[in-house]
Amino acid sequence: MNLEFSPEEIAFRDEVRTFIESNYPEHLRETGLREDLGRDDMLAWHKILGKKGWSTPAWPTEYGGTGWSPTQRYIWSEENARVNAIMPLPFGVSMVAPVIYSFGNEEQKAQHLPGIQSGEVWWCQGYSEPGAGSDLASLKTTAVRDGDHYVINGQKTWTTLAQYADWGFFLCRTDPDAAKPQEGISFILVDMNTPGIEVRPIKLIDGGYEVNETWLTDVRVPVENLVGEENKGWTYAKFLLAHERSGIAGVARSKRGVENLRDIAKSETLDGQPLMTDLDFARKVSQLEIDLAALEITELRTLAGEQAGRGPGPESSILKVKGTEIQQRLTELTLEAVGHYGTPYYSNIADAGSNEYPVGPDYAQHAASLYFNMRKTSIYGGSNEIQRNIITKMILGL
Amino acid sequence: MDFNFTEEQGMVRDSLARMVREQYDFDTRRTVVESDAGWRPEVWAQLAELGLFGMPFSEADGGFGGGPVDSLVVMEEFGKGLVVEPYVPTVVCAGGFLKHAGTDAQKADHLASIIDGSRVFAFAYAEPKGRYDLADLETTAKRDGDSYVLNGHKAVVIGAPWASHLIVTARTSGDRRDASGVSVFVVAKDADGVVARDYPTYDGRRASEVYFENVSIPADALIGEEGNGLPLVERVVAEAIAAQCAEACGAMKVAHEMTVEYSRQRKQFGVAIGSFQVLQHRMVDMFMEYEQSVSMTYLATLRLDDDDRQRQLASSSAKVRVGQAAHHIGQEAIQIHGGMGMTDELAIGHYFRRLTLFDSEFGNVDHHMKRHVALSAG
Ligand SMILES: Cc1cc2nc3c(=O)[nH]c(=O)nc-3n(C[C@H](O)[C@H](O)[C@H](O)COP(=O)(O)OP(=O)(O)OC[C@H]3O[C@@H](n4cnc5c(N)ncnc54)[C@H](O)[C@@H]3O)c2cc1C
Ligand SMILES: Cc1cc2nc3c(=O)[nH]c(=O)nc-3n(C[C@H](O)[C@H](O)[C@H](O)COP(=O)(O)OP(=O)(O)OC[C@H]3O[C@@H](n4cnc5c(N)ncnc54)[C@H](O)[C@@H]3O)c2cc1C
């Protein structure tokens, strides 16, 4: 066993660092934690990486993956986190693409993978419905075969950033009479510009608009957009969720967040001394870092397992639960660190179109909204209760 | 021992509860807090008419001879409805300073207009660098003949956009953070040299950054003794803490009830999610946290007239316990509501935001834990 990087890995790290230094868009530096970015900002880095061939490191090389080892991928995310880079969104790159290259046909691969890799095409995930959240298999949206089309009707909700989406992957019920609810579901790719789709924004508690209600009324989708077999969608959905979870630990991002927290706590004062020298506060930051180190090594062990051919299994639930708890605690501590200046409602000021407001230090401005926003992480991607149920069943065997 | 409210307090509570129910339903509140004004002066006038603002003051001062328990009753109901009207800054804080240390002339001028609802106050105590230390002041007031000249910057002054007057802490002597040298003044907000930048807060209130640039204030604007204001400030802050703990209790009660109710209604896997034991136990924990918070709020309120040490111990204990509970209950409420808890549409998120920001007002959990440690050692 060995934790040190080899000389080759260090050379790789330097190459990556230099590339990021000279190519990451100047105007987006240090903005990776802000929620008020538009489509172009969010895609800028993705497009640069697409040209370089680095936007989809984890894909198999035959489809455009880099062939990097887990350690190299880990270095890659670390280096991006150093500048708070806005990484390619998961919906295309790490969710639908693996389903397409694992279960899709050749036409689908040829049609969709290049756009995902280049960052030209924006994807959204149409799984959840008002009545089907944790119990996803109870979903009601129907797709009825009519000649060479499916006609889709129903309502999806929580569709993240669907306001920018070109395509969506939807779970629809194709066999209402199946013996088990899981057995009558299909995985369908939908062009978001098809008539009959309406996307309505939902305002969240941080003041931002990142999710939507998606209404589908007689949406006609060519049957070629079915992925894999009809009524086998649940299998692909579960496969995808395991991929979704492994990205969710967010170790590199949290490490950057802890550094940021330490910087804030050096600027803030308590009894005339830097807050960071206060033992009570310092202890909480250390606890966070210790937990983060444990998560990091656990993730590396999981990655190493993957390299040895064991796909992400129920262990990814550990990464999801611990990773999100750490992200939430980090934002909570950051809010605590900024003291009184967590109180002003900056998002509202941003709504009004002004991007500069002279209240408190810059670093305080997103502390509260980020804390409020990060409560989502223990709810989505399979809530942390559901993850614990998975561990109960799949690992403890209860 | 007696934990009962008087008949009068019960009546006040009932009429206040009715008023909050009728005029402060969630949609109305939201429309109001998002309006330009951000509050309703007519509601303030109605509260004054109910006699609410006179309750905690003695009859000699023009009040009804009540005390902190009356503020507890009021604030608990305010917490339930997420009322934004500035009762704490005006009645508890400004009223407290005047009650404890105001001269007859100051009382006749200000206290009477607090009681009849015609004046609104904000308490400008926090500074950008002072964190929660009440003596850590860079704002100065220099004696100049029979006036003082005030200079400084006060941070996140709650209710200031609505206020006609400010209570301001400033240093008249000594170094930053000295216990002595702190003085308290009442300043008209329209005085020359007072500049306020107003903004909304995450919990639906309004606040300002307030700058004083060579503001000349008459010597009789001083409340209490020059240079010996810290004990007075601490006493009033203890009263504000007790009132705000009561508010948090009201908000926690509603947040908990909403969560239990939601868990009864929301079905997943063919059953109400409230039937999952893992959620049941967490709602039981929320409930226990709430009950402990009520107890600590009583303690902090009932110890307000004790000696300094007892009062401070009780107030820090309450702020720690209630602060932890407010975080816990807020977070659990959102989690158990699932995606719906994340939406601005539902009231629960607004309770969560208020319960979050409760912590940083008048000292957070860490600050009061330290104070408790120091007081217990001493
Ligand atoms: C910000 C955000 C973004 C999202 N993005 C997307 C997206 O892009 N696409 C998409 O399809 N979906 C998305 N979702 C939806 C997300 O996956 C669901 O919110 C999640 O599955 C939970 O479902 P629910 O909200 O209906 O909560 P519910 O299922 O109603 O759960 C409510 C509470 O009950 C608990 N609970 C439920 N069942 C059990 C059980 N059996 N045992 C113990 N506890 C239980 C839950 O853990 C939760 O605490 C997003 C959600 C959010 C908040
Ligand atoms: C020091 C000691 C002194 C005692 N003194 C006395 C005495 O004086 N007289 C007397 O009659 N008995 C006494 N007891 C016995 C005591 O009452 C039992 O131990 C107790 O009722 C638990 O029963 P059990 O040990 O069979 O555990 P179990 O009932 O087998 O419980 C095992 C675990 O499962 C949990 N569990 C069980 N049911 C549920 C449920 N429905 N939901 C969630 N969790 C559940 C329990 O909380 C526990 O964690 C004593 C026990 C101890 C340890």
Average pLDDT over all residues of chain A: 92
Query: Does the beta carbon of B278 lie inside 6 Å of ligand 1?
Result: yes
What is this model's ipTM?
Answer: 0.95
Cβ of residue B133 closer than 8 Å to a chain A Cβ: yes
Cα B43 off chain centre by: 18
Query: Does the beta carbon of A387 lie inside 6 Å of ligand 1?
Result: no
Residue of A nearest to B265 (CA): A131
Cβ of residue B156 closer than 8 Å to a chain A Cβ: yes
Q: Is the pLDDT of residue A338 over 70?
A: yes
**For the residues of B182-214, what is the DSSP string, one character each?**
EEEEEEETTSTTEEEEEEEBTTS-EEEEEEEEE
Higher-pLDDT residue of A221, A308: A221
Pairing of strands A269-270, A273-274: antiparallel
Record the tokens describing residue A22, joined without a space: 């000279």
Of A268, A270, A345, the CB nearest to B199: A345
Of A204, A269, A383, the CB nearest to B343: A204
- Using CA atoms, how far residue B294 sits from B75, B248, B284, in Å, is 12, 9, 15
Q: Do B201 and A345 touch (CB under 8 A)?
A: yes
Q: Which of B139, B190, B165, B178 is nearest to B86 (CA)?
A: B165
Residue A358: per-residue pLDDT: 66
Query: Does the beta carbon of A170 lie inside 6 Å of ligand 1?
Result: no
Establish, for the pair of chains A and B, how many residue pairs have beta carbons separated by less than 8 Å.
143
Query: Does the beta carbon of A127 lie inside 6 Å of ligand 1?
Result: yes
Residue A248: per-residue pLDDT: 73
Residue A35: per-residue pLDDT: 59
Q: Is the pLDDT of residue A32 over 60?
A: no
Q: Do A133 and B341 touch (CB under 8 A)?
A: no
Cβ of residue B366 closer than 8 Å to a chain A Cβ: yes
Would you call A299 a catalytic residue per the annotation? Answer: no
B124, B167 Cβ separation under 8 angstroms: yes
Cβ of residue B279 closer than 8 Å to a chain A Cβ: yes
**Ordered mean pLDDT values, 10 residues apiece, chain B (378 residues):** 89 95 96 96 96 95 93 97 98 98 96 97 96 97 96 98 98 96 98 96 96 97 98 98 98 98 98 98 98 98 96 98 98 98 98 97 97 92
Positive or negative torsion for Cα B355, B359, B360, B363:
positive
Q: Is the pLDDT of residue A353 over 70?
A: no
Confidence label for A263 from pLDDT (cuts 50, 70 and 90):
very high
**Catalytic pick from A79, A129, A244, A296?**
A244
Give the percent of chain A with pLDDT over 70: 93
pTM equals: 0.96
Residue A110: per-residue pLDDT: 97
Start-to-end CA span in chain B (Å): 28
Who contacts A373 (Cβ-Cβ below 8 Å, separation ≥6)? A35, A204, A205, A206, A208, A331
What is the average per-residue pLDDT within A103-128? Answer: 97
Give the percent of chain A with pLDDT over 90: 80
Residue A241: per-residue pLDDT: 81
